Structure 1
Amino acid sequence: MSAPAVIVGVSGGVDSSVAALQLVEQGVPSAGLFMQNWADDGSGDCRAEEDRRDAVAVCGRLGIPFHFRDFSSEYWAGVFEHFLAEYAAGRTPNPDVLCNREVKFKHFLDAARELGADKIATGHYAQVALRDGHWRLLRGVDRSKDQSYFLHQLGQQQLSATLFPIGGMQKSDLRRIAREAGLQTHDKKDSTGICFIGERDFREFLGRYLPAKAGEMRDPQGVRIGEHPGVFYFTLGQREGLQIGGVRGRPAAPWYVVGKDVANNILYVDQDSGSRYLQSHRLQSEAAHWISGSAPARQFECTAQTRYRQADEPCQVTVNDDGTVAVRFTRAQRAVTPGQSLVLYDGDECLGGAVIASTDAPLEQKIAEQKV
């Protein structure tokens, strides 16, 4: 049997199923590969086996070979250990970004080449184009499903070897196409949230690895409001899970996380969803990654997202000598969160991005000054 030209990452979902279907209909010699990235912990919450069976069925229906690789140890070392370290430090990481860089477009790509393939394909809503001698990462046509945000750490080598067969399609068409092709994943529910947590309670899961340490919840003026089970369970702007009952002298309104003092184990909360303590105009990043290999300029204007599915926000970017970037937004941003990803765009082209290190939000500034 001749080697396939393309190995498709089949996840057992409808997106990767239709990606494989597109290649088969185009006559591209293809095979599917299912990646197991998380070892079943016996909780009953891991859907890996169900997903693998669906991936096998899809490959069988399409008449293409099926391959399996267990990347759980690589995922643990390259993604999960970092995830835990970030939460322990009080930051909020984005494991999907790291998973793409460390597993799907590294170990999966290596496995595909070992199988003799020239390229890999995935069911991401994104597009790749070769322009002016550089590979460009573009948003997916369906902006409501665009996943370029999670792919911003890819570089020229990965993009030159990657296809996104559904990047030019609308999600609303995919289930119909899958149904008409007889793919059993056509009505399968999309997976949401962090893959290794699944449907289980986030706090319970995280508590297995980071022991709870109760501390005070205070308002921005330092008045005690209640108690929290651990600052790393919460992220900026969060409303759910605070379990604050009626507070004497305070209105019966929801509370929101507006600050985290990890060193002193204090969680700051406020009752205004648009609280000024959540607002920032500037951020500083860790070292940035540029898809083309270098920054467009030392200083330039573009748009940015500091969280997935956020509307484009105009900003000015200054690239520092150490490779980090300083960003100033045209208008105030709500709940920009250290540990999350800053992703930069020029129209539909993703330029790259970086992990957010700090912002000029009032409480973050105050807590930082207290450390000095």
Structure 2
Amino acid sequence: MRVLAAMSGGVDSAVAAARAVDAGHDVVGVHLALSAKPGTLRTGARGCCTVEDAHDARRAADLLGIPFYVWDFAERFTQDVIEDFVAEYSAGRTPNPCLRCNERIKFEALLDKALALGFDAVCTGHYARLSVVDGRPQLRRSADAGKDQSYVLASLTSEQLRHSLFPLGDSTKTEVRAEAAERGLAVAEKPDSHDICFIPDGNTRKFLTDRLGEQPGVLVDDETGEVLGEHSGVHGFTVGQRKGLGIQAPAPSGRPRYVLALEPVTGTVRVGGAERLSVDQIVASRPVWPSGEVLGGIAGPVECVAQVRAHGGTSPAVAELVGDQLHVRLREPLQGVAPGQAVALYRPDRTAGDLVLGSATITTTR
């Protein structure tokens, strides 16, 4: 196959490209220039897709003996990921920018361009298992539970998955680093990027305030209606947040307060005790079925495992499609579940890796 290897400049994508070469594919490496300020450099493990990363990707491609290109996707990334991120927070929702980047950049914009140029598939360094059974893609958790990225890939369509390769799915991070060192890849010990790549200093509140300005409002006790303080914008908060609320007086019980709900129209941030954070019902919109079959082809309410965060936030659940909305009843309540997050559904399988049934965007919780 002709394979386009997306090379971020990190160890995972470099080893994934190397394995694609070893598999006998005709591989071309490409680095996506996503920053509108290409002179920006990585600071330790913060940020990605920088000039430094582009150089690291090129050196890896040279070592592998494959052609290498840099494609400018900065405008598309700004529109589909950064502006979407800002708009979602402004509306009182909590988006996952990594999920959106996979969905709209790597497996939409990049994949579309790759197919138009005659490539058969895009290869990435994601930790997830992918196979085809009876002509349908099956996306599963990776062998390395701590690095599993199936959650942020669960929004991909079956057609996108048919043109995707995830060579690292059966490996652990330790194995990948060891292999990179054996191959002589300079990125073998390079730190993983973390946090939000386009907010390298990690200050999300400042990033949003710089773009949305100050939008004063109040913090209100959800039980009593008492005004507890003021704030400069609901975009500075997310459901489940405990620190940085700006409330001077402690709760009568002496226990911490958490953000329970955001009301952007009135500028109200509702807060309360941890016990009021528990959620056992989720309604989500725009469901996507990676295999192409609704809930994996299982009729009626489906026993599954629901996940609401990239790492952690799982519960046994019962899921059902009602009209065009996904209804999920959690058997074990979860905390910090916010509108805008994705809920991914899995069918447990201890031997082959849990199978992804579908994903949708959370609209309401109870």
Considering the TM-score relative to the shorter chain, is it more than 0.5? yes
1:39 is matched by which residue type in structure 2? A
Structure-2 separation of matches of 1:224 and 1:85: 27
Give the share of equivalent positions with the same residue, in percent: 38
TM-fit CA distance, 1:246:
4.7
After superposition, where does 1:45-84 map in structure 2 within 5 Å?
Answer: 47=48, 48-84=50-86
Cα pair 2:94 2:339 within 8 Å, conserved: yes
Question: Of 195, 198, 204, which residue of structure 2 is paired with 1:196?
Answer: 198
Structure 2 partner of 1:368? none
TM-fit CA distance, 1:354:
0.5
Q: Equivalent residue of 1:97, what SS?
A: helix
2:29 is matched by which residue type in structure 1? G
TM-fit CA distance, 1:163:
0.8
Q: Equivalent residue of 2:155, what SS?
A: coil
Q: Equivalent residue of 1:325, what SS?
A: strand
Classify 1:157/1:199 alpha carbon distance in 2 versus 1 (closer, same or farther; 3 Å).
same
Matching of residue 225 in structure 1 with residue 267 in structure 2: no
1:306 is matched by which residue type in structure 2? V
Classify 1:90/1:43 alpha carbon distance in 2 versus 1 (closer, same or farther; 3 Å).
farther
Cα pair 1:225 1:247 within 8 Å, conserved: no
Structure-1 separation of matches of 2:78 and 2:135: 36
1:325 is matched by which residue type in structure 2? L
Structure-2 separation of matches of 1:55 and 1:104: 16
Q: Deviations over 1:129-157 (max 9, x none)?
A: 11122111111111111101001121222
After superposition, where does 1:315-334 map in structure 2 within 5 Å?
Answer: 315-321=317-323, 323-334=324-335
Structure-2 separation of matches of 1:123 and 1:342: 23
After superposition, where does 1:29-48 map in structure 2 within 5 Å?
Answer: 29-40=26-37, 47=48, 48=50
| TM-score normalised over the length of structure 2 | 0.90
Cα pair 2:239 2:260 within 8 Å, conserved: yes
Classify 1:229/1:311 alpha carbon distance in 2 versus 1 (closer, same or farther; 3 Å).
closer
Classify 1:248/1:276 alpha carbon distance in 2 versus 1 (closer, same or farther; 3 Å).
closer
TM-fit CA distance, 1:42:
6.9
Structure 2 partner of 1:314? 316
Cα pair 1:343 1:354 within 8 Å, conserved: yes
Structure 1 partner of 2:358? 352
Q: Equivalent residue of 2:211, what SS?
A: coil
TM-fit CA distance, 1:55:
0.5
Q: Equivalent residue of 1:130, what SS?
A: strand
Cα pair 1:155 1:292 within 8 Å, conserved: yes
Structure-2 separation of matches of 1:42 and 1:36: 11
Q: Deviations over 1:333-357 (max 9, x none)?
A: 2121100001011121111110000
Question: Of 293, 301, 304, which residue of structure 2 is paired with 1:299?
Answer: 301
Q: Deviations over 1:24-72 (max 9, x none)?
A: 2333321211012231187766651111011011111111110111112
2:62 is matched by which residue type in structure 1? G
2:290 is matched by which residue type in structure 1? I
Q: How many residues align?
A: 352
Question: Of 171, 178, 186, which residue of structure 2 is paired with 1:169?
Answer: 171
TM-fit CA distance, 1:278:
0.5
Structure-1 separation of matches of 2:265 and 2:79: 26
Gaps of 5+ in 1: 361-372
After superposition, where does 1:91-130 map in structure 2 within 5 Å?
Answer: 91-130=93-132
Classify 1:246/1:43 alpha carbon distance in 2 versus 1 (closer, same or farther; 3 Å).
farther
Structure 2 partner of 1:277? 276
Cα pair 2:38 2:51 within 8 Å, conserved: no
Classify 1:159/1:173 alpha carbon distance in 2 versus 1 (closer, same or farther; 3 Å).
same
Cα pair 1:7 1:117 within 8 Å, conserved: yes
2:177 is matched by which residue type in structure 1? R
Gaps of 5+ in 2: 349-353
Q: Deviations over 1:288-344 (max 9, x none)?
A: 1111223133422211101112254111112112x1111111122212110000101
Structure-1 separation of matches of 2:77 and 2:265: 29
Q: Deviations over 1:181-218 (max 9, x none)?
A: 11111111111122211234211111121112222222
Structure 2 partner of 1:363? none
CA RMSD of aligned residues (A): 2.0
Structure 1 partner of 2:343? 342
Structure 2 partner of 1:242? 245
| TM-score normalised over the length of structure 1 | 0.89
Structure-1 separation of matches of 2:268 and 2:116: 50
Q: Equivalent residue of 2:213, what SS?
A: coil
